[in-house]
Structure 1
Amino acid sequence: MSNKPQLEVAEYESVSLCHDQLTDDDVRRLNLLSNRRRGTLAETRTGWRFRPEATTGVLNLDRIRLVIRPKTAITGRSLIRWLCYALGTPVPHEATTRAWTVERDGFADVVASALLAECHTLLRDGLRRDYVRTEHVGPVLRGRLDAAAQATERFGMLDLLHMRTFDRKVDIWENQLCGHALRTAARTATDSNLAREIASVAEEFPVTGSSFGALRALDRSRYTHLNRRYQPAHVWSELLLSGGGVSDLLTDTGYDADSLLLDLPGLWESVVRRLSAESAPAQATIVPSSGRNGITVHGDLSTRPPFRPDVLVRLGGPEGNLMPIDAKYKTYNADPVSSPDVHQLLTYIAGHSPLTAPVAAILYPDPHRHTHRVLRVSGPGRHLGAIHVLGVHASADPAEATAWLRSALWREVTDAMFAH
């Protein structure tokens, strides 16, 4: 558990930092976030001013611990549920989520608690053992004689034999990854009781080698019936050791793994893609929004990227109509839809929707309830399009949100598309 002074700031708000609170390395790290459009660092007369953008979590700098709170009012229980939903991993047992909070530390304790719950389950069922090659020197031959070592190190002597054996041990990559992640979680957690419990459980897991080696083993691995039960614990371990969530923010940017930042727009896009796929009517498919389905611009002074909605759904079979959906991590429950977003959705409508039913949708997280309103855009004498603006209740269960989306959006959209 860190004993550095802690400062809190919300997304898209600013925090003032004195010159003596940041080292040169800290300034470099914050500038790296600025270069990736995840924050803004500006020098002032008394120090620095930092404004995080589209990022939440914990930044462990050299002298301070900076906690970035999400702008959307979301509980730890809701956050862990949507994280599990986006990552395709089971939600830990309800008893472990009862007291989770994001009020003090963004989401670091949430991920640490999820890892702890999974590691408790692994210990309860017994850690996996596998054959590990070990080199021994002893008086009795076990396994295979290491002829090269015997000839070079004990030539002509047979009182001790160099041998190679394969013994079943818990010191394998599946357990090593959890061990490294647990020790990182104990340093990251702000709650002292949680940190102590994690440290206690960490003693049961090996930490041979480095955390980077364990992550490389995870990249090369394939889950089978022998180690599939480790997959949820490895999801949380990877988040902790790589330092970011869903779309990683900290890889190769010079931060220690004690920092933990979540890309909330990336998380929301993953949630919306899965919600759209699971709520869409029968025979609907998610199709790529690039390639032959992309909206491109040619003839300008320089090339520009294509316009691509976050989700593109084809309704009614292989030759059916297209429905563009965009994920917006914005507070559209209290704010009107911005003009740039209206223009963006009208472009998607022009490029993808049929002329008889020009329609698109925006999905955003609503902290209070499910909401649905429709923006109808008209020009002189003609209808340009309808934009469904849907707020998905941030505290809803994903299954309940899927059912609501199926009723609120897809029933109306399919009726409009297939009425013509």
Structure 2
Amino acid sequence: MTRLDLPENSGWSPAPFDAEVIERACDTGLLESKITSAGPQVKPQLNRVGAVAVDGHEIVVQPKAPFSSVLFMLGYAADPGFRPDEVDGTGDDLFPAVAETYARLMERALGRGVLQGYRRLDETAVAIRGRIRFSDQMSRRGGQLLPVELTVDDYTVDIAENQLLRAAARLLLTLPRLTKEARHRLVHLESRLVDASLVRPGAGLPSWQPTRLNERYQPAVRFAELILARVAPSTTAGGEAVASFVVNMAEAFEGFVTAALTESFAAVSTGVSVGQYPTHLDRERKQPIRPDFVHLVGGVPAVVVDAKYKIGSLRVEDLYQMLAYCTVLGLDKGTLIYVADTAALPGQRTSIALSTVVVQSVRVDVTLAPRDMVGGLHQFVRSTAEPRVASCEPVH
């Protein structure tokens, strides 16, 4: 087995693999490659992190943050109830961390038993149960009394939530280098869901709705959807196994920031928070724009934030963008959230010339423990927005 570790957003590195391994790794979107006189080289795609394993060979793109923090950002963005202690924080290997985190979530979900629910089925039978589908009975059976076309609501474990949990567990068991303990736990947990239907590859994922009844399942089900969307097992032309887990850090960071701000504002304001707020740059409404986060009070925008997975000083293009957002929304202040960087001063403020608009920056240190990352954004809301939002006044 050959393993290559690359830092996130690093440059070209020699690739000690054959052409098919490199091609398969690039097909996942994690890497790009080129051929030079010294041999093949690879480098990570912009802001992509993760791992790809091909027939025992592995390429890992290490993020700025620990993989545990990356998994937390993904889980928290999907479900703000996702707890920091659910994430495996040991080591720098992605596949084992995903498996361990998911095993913890499944154990919590199934701790009070396997969830059951009603599933609607259409069937043909000679004994009546459920409801007769009279239109189908007439069109299919004419004047016959039997068999009867029925719709039945079965109370069963074969519901979407259990199907998703089982599918993700089975998928993780195909990954390499899981610990014996994690593999054993996943096998045991998957066996508890043996009566849930298997999700067929390529058939699409079953749909579900969060309710009070499935509340204990929700973090695990949402993480299962993340796994099913990102883990991509396949084979090479020669039949060798391929597995990958790839994360777009810009999207993960944006989703995490939006979820944290939404939760924070809910604690201090009766207003409404909207991610990817839809509006237009022009009066003619032909140029749509979508700020990452807008908090409205009484239906009027009070706070606008844009998350940028960037380090360093504020970029002029980001200042232009925020100026446009503030102008359209009628605000005098906008906030850009960047990744913390030791080379950049925190809390920068830029006063736009010939304008009342001030753009401030907030830094999120993604190397911190997940609880501290969330705490930093909660503090931003408390220190800069609470007095104004609570009194229903726009931020100035």
Query: What TM-score results when the alignment is normalised by the length of structure 1?
Result: 0.67
Shift in Å at residue 182 of structure 1?
A: 1.6
Q: Residue 21 of structure 1 contacts residue 63 of structure 1 at CA under 8 Å; is this kept in 2?
A: no
Shift in Å at residue 13 of structure 1?
A: 1.0
Q: Residue 166 of structure 2 contacts residue 198 of structure 2 at CA under 8 Å; is this kept in 1?
A: no
Match of 2:206 among 218, 230, 242: 218
For residues 62 and 30 of structure 1, the distance between their equivalents in structure 2, rounded to whole angstroms, comes to 15
- RMSD of equivalent CA atoms: 4.4
Superposed counterparts of 1:156-167, under 5 Å: none
CA shift in 2, pair 1:261/1:12, >3 Å: same
Aligned match of 1:51 = 44
Q: List per-residue Cα deviations over 1:196-253 (Å, max 9, x = no partner).
A: 433344344328764346974532x335555443332222222222226xxxxx799x
User: How many residues were matched structurally?
Assistant: 354
Shift in Å at residue 307 of structure 1?
A: 3.9
- Aligned partner of 1:120: which letter? E
Match of 1:400 among 375, 388, 391: 375
Match of 2:218 among 210, 214, 231: 231
What's the secondary structure of 1:258's corresponding residue?
strand
Aligned match of 2:76 = 85
- The percent of aligned pairs where both chains have the same amino acid is 19
For residues 222 and 378 of structure 1, the distance between their equivalents in structure 2, rounded to whole angstroms, comes to 45
What's the secondary structure of 1:187's corresponding residue?
coil
CA shift in 2, pair 1:294/1:264, >3 Å: same
For residues 110 and 265 of structure 1, the distance between their equivalents in structure 2, rounded to whole angstroms, comes to 21
Shift in Å at residue 269 of structure 1?
A: 1.4
1:347 aligns with 2:333: no
Aligned match of 2:58 = 65
Aligned match of 2:89 = 100
1:192 aligns with 2:188: no
For residues 395 and 109 of structure 2, the distance between their equivalents in structure 1, rounded to whole angstroms, comes to 54
1:361 aligns with 2:343: no
Query: What TM-score results when the alignment is normalised by the length of structure 2?
Result: 0.71
CA shift in 2, pair 1:70/1:278, >3 Å: same
What's the secondary structure of 1:259's corresponding residue?
strand
Superposed counterparts of 1:152-301, under 5 Å: 173-188=160-175, 190-193=177-180, 194-206=182-194, 210-212=198-200, 216=204, 218-219=206-207, 221-224=208-211, 227-243=214-230, 258-280=243-265, 282-286=269-273, 293-296=279-282
CA shift in 2, pair 1:243/1:290, >3 Å: closer
Give the structure, 1 or 2, with the largest relative contact order (CA under 8 Å, sep 6 or more): 2
Q: List per-residue Cα deviations over 1:96-128 (Å, max 9, x = no partner).
A: 54x5236222xx433322221132235542324
Q: Residue 143 of structure 1 contacts residue 166 of structure 1 at CA under 8 Å; is this kept in 2?
A: no
Match of 2:33 among 14, 29, 41: 41
Shift in Å at residue 81 of structure 1?
A: 3.9
What's the secondary structure of 1:101's corresponding residue?
coil
Q: 5+ residue gaps in structure 1? A: 136-140, 145-164, 245-249
For residues 419 and 69 of structure 1, the distance between their equivalents in structure 2, rounded to whole angstroms, comes to 38
What's the secondary structure of 1:390's corresponding residue?
strand
For residues 243 and 214 of structure 1, the distance between their equivalents in structure 2, rounded to whole angstroms, comes to 14
Q: Residue 52 of structure 2 contacts residue 244 of structure 2 at CA under 8 Å; is this kept in 1?
A: yes
Aligned match of 1:126 = 113
Q: List per-residue Cα deviations over 1:31-63 (Å, max 9, x = no partner).
A: 573xxxx65433323123232222222223356
What's the secondary structure of 1:275's corresponding residue?
helix
Aligned match of 2:2 = 5
Q: 5+ residue gaps in structure 2? A: 130-151
Q: Residue 373 of structure 1 contacts residue 389 of structure 1 at CA under 8 Å; is this kept in 2?
A: yes
Shift in Å at residue 80 of structure 1?
A: 4.3
- Aligned partner of 2:92: which letter? E
Shift in Å at residue 172 of structure 1?
A: 5.5
Q: Residue 295 of structure 2 contacts residue 303 of structure 2 at CA under 8 Å; is this kept in 1?
A: yes
- Aligned partner of 2:194: which letter? P
Shift in Å at residue 191 of structure 1?
A: 4.2
CA shift in 2, pair 1:288/1:226, >3 Å: closer
Q: Residue 54 of structure 2 contacts residue 243 of structure 2 at CA under 8 Å; is this kept in 1?
A: no
Shift in Å at residue 408 of structure 1?
A: 3.2
